[in-house]
Every structure is written in structure tokens, then in C-alpha cells.
Structure 1
Amino acid sequence: MSTITEPEVRTALTGVEDPEVRRPITEVGMVKSISIADNNDVAVEIYLTIAGCPMKNTIVERTEAALKGLDGVGNVTVTTDVMNDEQRREFRNAVRGSASEPVIPFAQPDSRTRVFAVASGKGGVGKSSVTVNLAAALAAKGLSVGILDADVYGHSIPHMMGSEDKPHQVDDMIMPPQAHGVSLISIGHFVDDNSPVVWRGPMLHRAIQQFLADVFWGDLDVLLFDLPPGTGDIAISVAQLVPNAELLIVTTPQMAAAEVAERAGTISLQTRQRIAGVIENMSWMEMPDGSKMEVFGAGGGETVARRLTQITGGKVELLGQVPLDTSLREGGDKGTPVVVSAPEHGAGAALSAIADKLFVRRESLAGKSLGLGVTPK
């Protein structure tokens, strides 16, 4: 007689998470059947949301590993089937609720996601490189992280993250692809090849709104927006749609770039956003003899932080300086962020140190009892 029971198998499966929704497969209706033979061979069939699910192999491997951990188990077999429309609808309700209209989770009072809008006054300062490396560094520290590529005209995040996967749809939810432990969405996922995006303000606003509400992000610790340069439509839309988003201002040491970056930070006076800090990129080049060549001058980051402190009335910190490092550029070209390939050297170390300063999960007090009472006189 079998010594392994179905409840034991289900208990083991509670430790298997769907990597896209970060929920146990037992909670979201993904376990189709369990079969246990007299010799303790276990066969489990798993439902996938779509036939071409990009996480199929990961789910199967995790399920096999969980089952092989059962004491006395024989051969383990894991097969898959595909949900029908009704099952997908139940899956959607299990992970998102039954609300008829999608909402932006990061704009809700009880949201614990810390949202950073990575901004710059002008292009070419390495804003996207900073975004992907901060995201990868935070994910490596164990946080649940997402990137929304809001630079609709100059989208580059999928390439820089080395992601060739496309989003897929489950009922009315868009499931984002993942790379280096980071969920990401970009208009680049929805256009052919390198086609340009020719949109005006209202369409841009609607695209960002859909990326926020229709994409299933799960319970993120951190969401990073890669904003386009300047203070145009998208920067304003992000401030309206996610009012609690904090600005991360990226500049170079060059004074001309610093002046423009200061302008990008000053938008916080109109949008009432907090400035989380300033990041100076391309600060210097390490020479073979150990000296530093300041190719773009010096002091731009400190100047921006000091001026924004004066203008906003709140302390704005220079979070770090990132050296001009060929490995940073190469990582973006290859799709492997430098914080993954070389986290202890050069630009990788600098960006990892900046991520350490952002390594905080917000705990909302909304709806929570503060334990305060009324003391009668």
C-alpha cells in the first residue's frame, strides 16, 4: 500500500509558486490532478494558462523538485494541460479579484510598492542604464521588482534586459515577461521590429494607464518607471496616475547637463512628488594607473542635489556617482546588467551601492490600527 497521501502531495505543492503571479499553484487552480501508485510513484498534471506559456519549464521543474522532496517518493512525473476560458477567468479572479474594471494597484492607499520615476532633463545621460541596473540589483537582493518602460519613443528596456519574450494574455490580464528576476513591460513588446511609435499626448497617457492597470504586476516591492527625457506628457501622466511616485534624477557631472536635470527635478513643485535623490552618471574614467579622468567635468550631481534642496525645501541627497565604464555599456548591449556580471567592481559596485539605499519596502499605515486610545480626563 502507498505510504504517500494526496494531502501530503498537496502540501508539497503549496511551496510551488507560479513565477508570473508569485502565488502557490494550489491557490490559483493550477493543479489538475494528482495520482499516487502503490509503489509511491507520483504523477501530477498542472494547468497552464496558455499553450505557449513562457514559464512552463520553470513551473514543471519547481513541481518536480517539490515532489522529489517527499519522504519515500518513487518516480515523479509532471505533465501539463491548458486551461479553458472559464478556468482562465477563475484564475484571473483568484489573482486579481472579481472587479469588473481594472484599477492601478500602485495608486491605492494600501499599496506597499515603492515607485520610482527615473527622470533626466536631457537624453544621453544613461537614464535607462541606471534603471535596468537598479532593478536587477534590487531583484538580486530578494525584492520583487518591475520596470515600466515609459520612454515610448525611445524604448530600450527589453533589449537592455536581454528579454526576447513577449507578454501574453490571460482573460483580460497582460502577463509581463521576466528577465534577471524583474518583470517588465514596454511598448517595444507590441510593435514590429524597430518600428517608430508616432503618437500624441492622449494616446501616450492611455498607454501608460493600460500598462499600469491591465498588466498583472503582482505584489511588487519596487516599480521603476524609465521616463523619457524632459518634462513632457508622460512625466505629467505618471504623476497623475501614480501620485506617490518618487523622482530619481539622473545627470552627468557636466554643468550644462546639471542645469537641465535641475529643471526636470523642479517639476516636483507642480506635481507634488517627492525627490528620492540624484544619481550622477559618467562621473569619471578609471585610468590604468589608478587615477581618475573626469571626462565630463565634476560637481554636476552635487550641484543638482544642492539646488533641488533649496528649491523644494526638502533634503535631496546625491545617492551616488557611477564611473564611465565600458562594462556598463557592454552589459546593456548584451542584455546582462553590470550589477549581475560584475557587482563588486566599477559601475556595478556603484549602482549596487545606490540600490542598497533604495532597499526599503514601504509599509502603509492606511487601514491599520495604531493602538491609540482615548484617555478620559
Structure 2
Amino acid sequence: SLTHLDPISISTIYRWSDLNFGLAALLDNGPGLKTSGFLTHRWTSNGSMNKKGLQDRQKQQMARGLPKQKPIRDVKQVIVVASGKGGVGKSTTAVNLALGLMAIDKSKSVGLLDADIYGPSVPKLMNLKGNPELNDDNRMIPLINYGVPCMSMGFLVQDASPVVWRGLMVMSAIERLLRQVEWGSLDYLVVDMPPGTGDVQLSITQNILIAGAVIVSTPQDVALLDARRGAEMFRKLNVPVLGLVQNMSVFQCPNCHHHTHIFGSNGAKQLAETISVKFLGDVPLHLNIRETSDKGQPIVVSSPDSP
């Protein structure tokens, strides 16, 4: 019960509600739906509810609305790569998208931000290790490989160390990754989002200007359901969905060259048609992609002529 929490705990919960003040505005208030007390109630140190404080807080929330989206300094366009669930190849897609954008036009500068706090993959995929240095303004300087500056929580923790953090610490880390990195001048910043549609995704999407979102899914139904939820989240937050990528679409036997649709066929393509977004293409389940990714040699670099 909240009435048994000490004043420090209550204060912590209340400060946490400040980070979520826009959440209620995102929800379709259906029958019986009520906002959590963690988001709306103000408790005094003895555990009683301050009704006037609650009313004042609700008025402030209504007047304030959603957080104002602000651009990232020196970044022209932000493209987020998202997935409804983990394990569908989102990070691999994000890495190759960043490298692909640079390969298409050498004059463009592209950065890569790994926003997956709990499971950062960019250090491995981009073959990067080390701790970012700080400049005179106390801003982190990205690590660079293949001409792409990269920032990831994986640079700040040991390889085998889990990030065991509660929400407030995660939000603080995200804010630092978004606002305290010295990117220089970038035409594109590709953001590898964490999987799902939780607090981190909402915080990122509400607080920065995003040019568009690419959603990655495998063809099976369980992944497509989550991909659809992700697309709807971006639409509610007025972020254009640039399209869907279908990963692990088909497996070709290296011996007999027979094609097998292990996870089903055309699921993401059909979903794209259903929700009226562009289908961006298929990526096969190929041994070479896995091997080169594990070596930190993305397929755009290791096999630039690959279809």
C-alpha cells in the first residue's frame, strides 16, 4: 500500500510521475480506464492524499499537454529503427541503414545512436570498444568506425555486465544519450530503438524531432502483431512510418538451394498493405549476414554488391 511508503519513496514516485505527464494524453480513455495513482496522486508525508494538490496537478498536466519536441543539436534528420519485439534483426537493420545512407551519397554525414539501454548491440555490430571521451563542454565524443560516429550504452558498461536499472535511471541515461553527445554536423542520425512500445520509446519519440520510423519484423504472426502496435504508437505520436522491413524472409539451403519460408511468407508485406505503409523489402535468413555481423563487419561493408 502507498500509505506504508516512507516520505522518500513517495517523493521518488512523485518525481517519476513528472516524466510521464504526457502519457495520459496518449491513451484513448475507454470505458472504465483510469490513470494510475502513480501518475496522478499527490501524497503527503503521512500518506494522506492532498486533494487540492491533485486538482492543481491535473490542471497543470492538461495545460501542459505533451512535451515539446526539440531537435538534436547539429542533426538535420533523425530516423528511428524500431520493432515490436526483440530478436527480429532491428539492430542489424539499423547498422546497415546507417552505412547504406552514407554509401549512397558520400557527401552525407551519418551517425548511429544505440538507444537500447538493456541490450545494446551496436558496439558488437560496428566492432567498437572503449569509453567515450568528454570534450570541454562535458559532452561525450562518439566512437567511429567505417566513417560512422556511434554512441551506445554498451560503451559505458562492461561487456558481460547487465544494466539493472529502474525507470528513472534509464530515462536519465536516454536523456544524456540524446542531448549530451557531440555529434558534430550530421545529415542523418539513425537511432536503434529498444524493442516494444514502453516508456523509453515514448520518451524518445515525445522529446526529439523524428523525420520517420522504419519498423522491422519477421513474417510470423506473433512478430507482426507487435509490429502493428509499434506502427500505431508512432502514428499516435505523429511520427511518419516510412515503411516495414521483412527480415528473415526466406532461407536458401546452401547445398540444394531449396527455398524454405521458416517464419512464413509475405507476412510483413501483407501487414504493410493492411495499415497503408510502404513495404521496404525482404532480407533473407542468410549465414553470411550472421557471420559478418558477429565479426563486426556489417553486410553493407563486407558485401557491398550483395542484393
TM above 0.5, yes or no, is yes
Aligned to 2:273: 306
Aligned to 1:328: 289
State the Cα deviation string for residues 189-232 of structure 1 (Å, max 9, x = none).
Answer: 11133211122222222212211221111111111111111101
Give the secondary-structure state (helix, strand or coil) at the position aligned to 1:283. Answer: strand
Give the secondary-structure state (helix, strand or coil) at the position aligned to 2:288. Answer: helix
Give the secondary-structure state (helix, strand or coil) at the position aligned to 1:169. Answer: coil
1:290 deviates by 4.5
Aligned-pair RMSD on alpha carbons?
1.9
Aligned residues of 1:257 and 1:300 also touching (Cα < 8 A): no
Aligned to 1:260: 226
Counterpart among 114, 132, 145 of residue 110 in structure 2: 145
Aligned to 2:131: 166
Counterpart among 105, 117, 122 of residue 85 in structure 2: 122
Counterpart among 258, 263, 283 of residue 296 in structure 1: 263
Structure 1 moving runs of 4+ over 6 Å: none
Looking at structure 1, the residues matched to 256 and 207 of structure 2 have their Cα atoms a distance apart, in angstroms, of 49
Aligned residues of 2:70 and 2:208 also touching (Cα < 8 A): no
**TM-score, normalised on structure 1?**
0.59
Residue 272 of structure 1 aligns with an amino acid whose one-letter code is N
Looking at structure 1, the residues matched to 274 and 72 of structure 2 have their Cα atoms a distance apart, in angstroms, of 29
Give the secondary-structure state (helix, strand or coil) at the position aligned to 1:267. Answer: helix
Aligned to 1:234: 200
Aligned to 2:249: 283
Aligned residues of 2:118 and 2:162 also touching (Cα < 8 A): yes
Residue 292 of structure 2 aligns with an amino acid whose one-letter code is G
Aligned to 2:238: 272
Aligned residues of 1:259 and 1:304 also touching (Cα < 8 A): no
Looking at structure 2, the residues matched to 269 and 193 of structure 1 have their Cα atoms a distance apart, in angstroms, of 35
Aligned residues of 1:147 and 1:182 also touching (Cα < 8 A): yes
1:327 deviates by 1.2
1:284 deviates by 0.5
* Greater radius of gyration (CA): 1
Counterpart among 313, 317, 338 of residue 299 in structure 2: 338
Aligned to 2:48: none
1:112/1:197 CA distance change after superposition, 3 Å:
closer
Residue 121 of structure 1 aligns with an amino acid whose one-letter code is G
Looking at structure 2, the residues matched to 319 and 339 of structure 1 have their Cα atoms a distance apart, in angstroms, of 17
Structure 2 runs not aligned, ≥5 long:
1-68
Looking at structure 1, the residues matched to 232 and 75 of structure 2 have their Cα atoms a distance apart, in angstroms, of 26
Aligned residues of 2:235 and 2:241 also touching (Cα < 8 A): no
Structure 1 position 251 matched with structure 2 position 217? yes
Looking at structure 2, the residues matched to 195 and 300 of structure 1 have their Cα atoms a distance apart, in angstroms, of 36
Give the secondary-structure state (helix, strand or coil) at the position aligned to 1:248. Answer: strand
Residue 141 of structure 2 aligns with an amino acid whose one-letter code is M
1:105 deviates by 7.4
Looking at structure 2, the residues matched to 112 and 139 of structure 1 have their Cα atoms a distance apart, in angstroms, of 15
Aligned to 1:17: none
Structure 1 runs not aligned, ≥5 long:
1-103, 310-315, 350-377
**TM-score, normalised on structure 2?**
0.72
Looking at structure 1, the residues matched to 114 and 75 of structure 2 have their Cα atoms a distance apart, in angstroms, of 21
Aligned residues of 2:81 and 2:213 also touching (Cα < 8 A): yes
State the Cα deviation string for residues 294-330 of structure 1 (Å, max 9, x = none).
Answer: 1111121112212322xxxxxx101110011111111
Aligned to 1:212: 178
Residue 233 of structure 1 aligns with an amino acid whose one-letter code is D
Looking at structure 2, the residues matched to 147 and 283 of structure 1 have their Cα atoms a distance apart, in angstroms, of 25
Counterpart among 158, 167, 172 of residue 201 in structure 1: 167
How many matched pairs? 235
Looking at structure 1, the residues matched to 141 and 281 of structure 2 have their Cα atoms a distance apart, in angstroms, of 34
Residue 219 of structure 1 aligns with an amino acid whose one-letter code is S
State the Cα deviation string for residues 245-268 of structure 1 (Å, max 9, x = none).
Answer: 421110011122112111111102
Give the secondary-structure state (helix, strand or coil) at the position aligned to 1:174. Answer: coil
Looking at structure 2, the residues matched to 337 and 218 of structure 1 have their Cα atoms a distance apart, in angstroms, of 24
Give the secondary-structure state (helix, strand or coil) at the position aligned to 2:113. Answer: strand
Aligned to 1:225: 191
Aligned residues of 1:168 and 1:174 also touching (Cα < 8 A): yes
Identical amino acids, percent of aligned pairs: 42
Aligned to 1:181: 147
Aligned to 2:47: none
